[in-house]
Structures are given as C-alpha cells and as structure tokens.
Structure 1
Amino acid sequence: MKTNKILLIDGARQVGKTFIIRHVGKKMYDNFIEINMIEDRLQNQLFKNVKTVEDFYLQVSMLAGSQMKEKENTLIFIDEIQAYPHLLTLLKFLSQDDKFTYIASGSLLDVTLSNTSSIPMGSIRKIRMCPLDFEEFIRVLGLNDLTLSILENKFNHLETLDETMHDKMMDLFRKYLLVGGLPDVINTYLETKNIQAVREVQNEIYEYYKSDASKYDT
C-alpha cells in the first residue's frame, strides 16, 4: 500500500537501526541521502534553525544536492532525529509536501515526542526496533531453517526433544543469557569467543545508556 507517511524507527542505542536502514535504503533507492543530526549538532549545525520545508531542502541540498531526484528514487534518512526535536514536528510538513521518500530514526523518541509541542502522529508510522530475540540469535549462530522448523513443530505438539538436542538448545540459551541480543556484542562473541571481550563491549554500551538517561532525568 502506497503512503506518504514517514517511517520513524525508534529503539535503544546499538540495536542496529542505522545499519539496517542504510543496508536496505541503498539497495532500494538509487539516491540514498543520510544525515546524522547528532553529528550536525556537534559540527556545522545546519539544521539547528530549520523551521520550514524550504529551509530543510536548502540544507540538504548543501550536503547532497546532486542526489535530490524524484520521490521514487530518492530516500532521505534522518538519523538521530532526537538531537533536534523541532524536526519531529517538521516531519508532518515534509510528509504533506511529498517531494521525497523519508525515513527517520532515533533513541528515546517517546521521551522526545512527549516534550514536543506538535506531535505529527497522522504523518508518521512509528516502529520500535528491539535487540535480537533468542530465535534470531540461534540463527546467527548457525541453526538452519529445517532445524528451527522441527523445533517449532515439536513445541506446537508438546513433544519432548531428545536428550542431545535438549542439551544443545540449553547450551545455546545459556550463551544467549551471557551475550544478549545487541548486534555489536554478538559480533564480538562470534569473532573472539571471549566472554571478557563481550563484557567490555556490554559495559561500553551500558555507559552510553547511562549517559542517555541522565539527559532526561538526573
């Protein structure tokens, strides 16, 4: 179904929002324009005072004017949009203008939206992205579709697993409890098989979370 609603991807840090949007966007669109608003706020602040659609287009054109083609082949990705809360309101007018295709992402968007004077709910479709669940985790570790299909069938029919398979699944579940579902942590585990290295990445992300939380509540 065609729609001019703007997709808004919410989720915690390090769940893979930017990676998946960039991966899919570059495959589906000839012209992929990515703007990170945290980087902009720390550097040129081109979007700090953007209030209108025309202002927004002007700043985008300064960064990637040659890629601003038609709606069907141009995707503008507004990353870390929470850095400029006023841009959340602007999404309504970008949607109404319908000149390009847009997707936005950010962290703690529920908090940002609650402090936004005009929430563009009719103009956005908000989806929350989560870390990998257990099934996704074991797929990454190598379980194939056939094995998962057999496991699901046994579960649906309340049938027990044989001891070997049961032990295998319990071992994978213990690994999931240790590693978790954040992509960077999982990649570290796959590359090193070192729980100490995994813990270092987890602690680093934990510090990011604390820093984010402190911005909204002392």
Structure 2
Amino acid sequence: MLRRKAYDALMEWKGRPHKPLLVKGQRQVGKTFIIEAFAKKNYAYFVNIDFRSDKDARKVFSGNLDVDSMIRGLEILYPDAVFEPGSTLILFDEIQDCPQAYSSLKYFALDGRYDVIGSGSLLGVALNRAEKEERMDDIPSVPVGFTEHLTMYSLDFEEFLWAKGIKKEHIDGLRTCIRERRSVPDAVHSAFSSYFREYMIVGGMPEVVQDYMDTKKLGGAINIQDRLLDDIVADINKYNTPINAAKTRECFDSIPGQLAESNKKFMYSRVDGGESRNSAQRYSENLLWIKNAGYGNFCYRVSSVETPLSAREESGHFKIYLSDTGLLIGMYGQSVRKAVAMGDSRVNLGAVAENVVAECMVKCGIEPRYYSKNKGENRMELDFVAEIGDDLSVIEVKSGKSREAPSLSKVPSIFKVDRRIMFEDTNIRISDDGVEHYPLYAAAFMDSMGDTRDIDDLLWTEPVDRDADTDAPETNLPGCDRFDL
C-alpha cells in the first residue's frame, strides 16, 4: 500500500472533536482506498455507501433527515452492516450523486454520535452548482459550518520517494538544506534530480505509481496514464450536456498547447482558433468545470506584487496547469517523455517545468499566481508570485541552459519583495545579486522554504503593571520590542 499524507490527516481528524469530513479531489487519486484503509485500522465497523453504484441508497435520504430515521433506513438496506455510535465510520462515497445525503451532514454534525466522511470526485462541481441561486433546489440545505474539508491530490514528490523506499533521514536532510539555503552534496543532488525526472514522467496518480514501482518499467504506467486520460474525457461526457461536453473537451485538450506558447496565459481564442467573437463567454463555464473537477490548477494574474496577493487577483487573466505533470507529459507524447528522462536541455521543456512547479506549490498549500505587464515602467514577466510562509516571493522557472532572468533583476527597483527565487538545473546557491537558486526538485519542498511566525508570539501575553515605578519609557512594555512603535 502506498503511504499517503492524507492518512495522517484522517488520523488527526479522528483524534480530536470533529465534524463530518468532506474529502475532495479529482478522480482516482486514492480517496476511497485511503479512507477504507483508515477505517479498517481505526474503527470496529465500516459502512461504505456508494451513491453512484447503489441508487436505492439515495431513497433513504429522500424523506426525513433525522439521524435516527436515516440510520434505520440504512440498517434495513444494509442488514449486515453495524451502526454503533463511536465505533462505526460511515462513508458516503460519490456524495455529489445524492444531494440530500450531502444535506444530511448537518444533522450528523448536530447529533454527534457517528463519524461520517463524504467523498466525491466531482464534489467541487456539485458545490459550485449549489452556490448558484437558481440551482439551490438541487441541494435542499447546504451544510455550511457543519463540515470539515480535506483535498486529496495525486502523490506529491515526497510520497513518491516513500514509494521508492528512500529513507526519512535522507529526505529530512534535503529539507534542511533547502530551509537553510545551502548546497546539497553532489551525489545527493544527482540522485534527487534523477528521482524528480522519474516523478515528472510517472506523475503521482496512485495506480500509475504502483505499477511503476512493481515493474520498474514505464510501459504499463504509460498505458494506465492513457486510460486515465480517456477516463477524464468520459467524465466530461457524462457530467455535461452534449454541447458543453464538446466545449469542455476542447478546453481541456488545448491546455498543453497553451502552455507551450511563450505567453502561457490561457487565451480563449486558441481554443476555437478565434472563430467565436465571444470566446470568453462561450467557454468560461467549461473552464470552471475543469477547475472544480480538480483537473486543472488555475494561476491568476495579480495587478501588483503586493500583499495580500488575493486582493490583487485579476479573474479574467490566468494560466491553467494540469494537476498531474505525468498526465501532461502523456498528452505531449514520447518525444517529450524521452527529453525529460535524459534531462535534454536542447529541448524546450518550459511548459513541463512550469507545470511541475505549479503542481508542487499547490500540493504544498501555496497558491500560485503570476505577474505580467507588457508596457510602462513596471513591464516584466514573473512566472509565479507567492506568499511562502511570511515572505512575499517572486519565482522564475528555467528548463534550458539560459540563466538570464531580467525580470528578477528588475523587481527590487519596482516592488518590495522578501525573496527572489529561481528554479533551474543547479544546486542550491545564492548569487551576488541576492537571487536564490534551487534545483527543480526543491519546489516539492517549498513548504520548508518559508518561516512562519506563530501569531501567538506576536501578541502581548504578559500582564503589564502600569503603576510600577520604572524609569523606562512608556513604550518599553513586555513584548513591545516586537513592534515598531
């Protein structure tokens, strides 16, 4: 069994007072598998109700959503199942196919006797639909405030290393080098660079990774990737009207080509060749479907490199990266796969390099954004702008031999940033101009790159005796040295 970080998150959820949990993520990233493994090790009883395959189960939730009534209905439908408070984990799998079951999570939360997890590969699509006022009848009662959320992705690079049997102390040592911004020993650097190229090609989809680890060959893994891409098309066809399905497929199929352009901004005109006057209006809902189904990582442009970045987002300007770089390479084909395997710098792999960095950022919990301006004093192109810990950082990604980064050099004269970072084919170093250089694989450990000060450490926690006789100035209070008063 592949070790997954989501298992640790489930253990943390169980070990404290909690609400029903919604586990989201694209198809076949291992949601049901990891929940079942977790249940079998930590509960006396486990009941898996799959609303996609068992349509009769939906009828249980068509009437009274009182917990006792729902449990009685489930006991009748599943006579061999045991529903024992405190000892049973109930999984509502593919919960988006039964909106009333989604509503019932509120009542399970208020009741508190049963641990409940809802899981869905297209849950993001359903939730987005529920937010639209004209579609609210689809979900009678949205359980806002009565659920917790966990998003699962395909395996990240660290999980891939676990699958390869790389020891924890070696990974921890690498994290230390990244955190302390010091070079990695050459042999270690070479090994992790090779592992990361493997990861880029194989990707993180669990079935693909497992086959590759079992066989040590790419043939079977590539066949599985092809099938997964076919499954994405099947999902698009199944969960869209025929017209919308065709448009969504066009958008999805255009992503590799859009990323291969020097201007990687997603352009609607590239989807239909500029044939439609209102391309943005024509395709916007289809792109939203791709986003909410978890197949694409959206990277929005910011109007200025200032915090908070979320307030600077321009919703009409964005890049779309595939959520799994292995699938992107599969869409590009064998020539790109070979170039990545050989580390061939003669081939322009900018799209692949940017995609994997965006993927790593998302899996590290860091929102990827970018900055671009074509005219005026602030003219520059920055691949990514991000808040890494407490640091406002600008990031460039290089896949070839060129090490020029004029935009990174220009940033300090225009914006006040904490860090300038370049991911490229290099060891860790800091150049004379203060730019931090990291190998591509370091992007997978970006959560180790930033220091975050606990907010509790920033607050005044010591009592102040304002009547005390002291010669110190009035502002010299306990904790005041942390503030610029």
TM-score using structure 2 length = 0.42
Structure whose alpha-carbon radius of gyration is higher: 2
**Match runs of 1:38-187 below 5 Å:** 38-41=52-55, 45-48=56-59, 50-51=61-62, 52-53=64-65, 56-62=70-76, 63-64=78-79, 67-70=82-85, 72-116=86-130, 117=136, 118-187=141-210
Q: 1:13 aligns with which of 24, 27, 52?
A: 27
Whole-Å separation in 1 of the counterparts to 2:72 and 2:149:
26
In the TM superposition, residue 12 of structure 1 has moved relative to its aligned partner by 0.8
Residue-by-residue CA offset, 1:176-207 (whole Å, 9 max, x unaligned) = 01101111110010111221211111111122
Whole-Å separation in 2 of the counterparts to 1:178 and 1:8:
30
Whole-Å separation in 1 of the counterparts to 2:231 and 2:107:
32
In the TM superposition, residue 19 of structure 1 has moved relative to its aligned partner by 1.1
Query: Identity of paired residues, percent?
Result: 31
Question: 2:116 aligns to what SS in structure 1?
Answer: strand
- Is the Cα–Cα contact under 8 Å of residues 53 and 94 in structure 1 kept in the other structure? no
Looking at both structures, which has the greater relative contact order when contacts are Cα pairs under 8 Å and sequence separation is at least 6?
1
Question: 1:114 aligns to what SS in structure 2?
Answer: helix
- Is the Cα–Cα contact under 8 Å of residues 33 and 64 in structure 1 kept in the other structure? no
In the TM superposition, residue 18 of structure 1 has moved relative to its aligned partner by 0.7
- Is the Cα–Cα contact under 8 Å of residues 43 and 89 in structure 2 kept in the other structure? yes
- Is the Cα–Cα contact under 8 Å of residues 31 and 68 in structure 1 kept in the other structure? yes
Runs of 4+ in structure 1 off by over 4 angstroms are none
In the TM superposition, residue 56 of structure 1 has moved relative to its aligned partner by 2.8
In the TM superposition, residue 49 of structure 1 has moved relative to its aligned partner by 6.2
Q: Which residues of structure 2 form unaligned runs of 5+?
A: 1-15, 131-135, 246-485
In the TM superposition, residue 106 of structure 1 has moved relative to its aligned partner by 0.6
Report the number of matched residues.
213
Q: 1:146 to 1:204 in 2, by over 3 A?
A: same
Whole-Å separation in 2 of the counterparts to 1:66 and 1:192:
38
- Is the Cα–Cα contact under 8 Å of residues 48 and 84 in structure 1 kept in the other structure? no
In the TM superposition, residue 158 of structure 1 has moved relative to its aligned partner by 2.1
Residue-by-residue CA offset, 1:41-84 (whole Å, 9 max, x unaligned) = 3xxx23246232355323310214651122x1111111111121
- Is the Cα–Cα contact under 8 Å of residues 81 and 88 in structure 1 kept in the other structure? yes
Whole-Å separation in 2 of the counterparts to 1:145 and 1:197:
28
In the TM superposition, residue 96 of structure 1 has moved relative to its aligned partner by 2.2
Whole-Å separation in 1 of the counterparts to 2:207 and 2:115:
29
- Is the Cα–Cα contact under 8 Å of residues 154 and 160 in structure 1 kept in the other structure? yes
Whole-Å separation in 2 of the counterparts to 1:64 and 1:106:
25
Q: 1:2 aligns with which of 17, 36, 39?
A: 17
In the TM superposition, residue 174 of structure 1 has moved relative to its aligned partner by 0.7
* Aligned-CA RMSD value: 1.8
Residue-by-residue CA offset, 1:93-136 (whole Å, 9 max, x unaligned) = 23223332211111121210222323212111121111111111
Q: Which residues of structure 1 form unaligned runs of 5+?
A: none
- Is the Cα–Cα contact under 8 Å of residues 8 and 125 in structure 1 kept in the other structure? yes
- Is the Cα–Cα contact under 8 Å of residues 15 and 182 in structure 1 kept in the other structure? yes
AA matched with 1:180: G
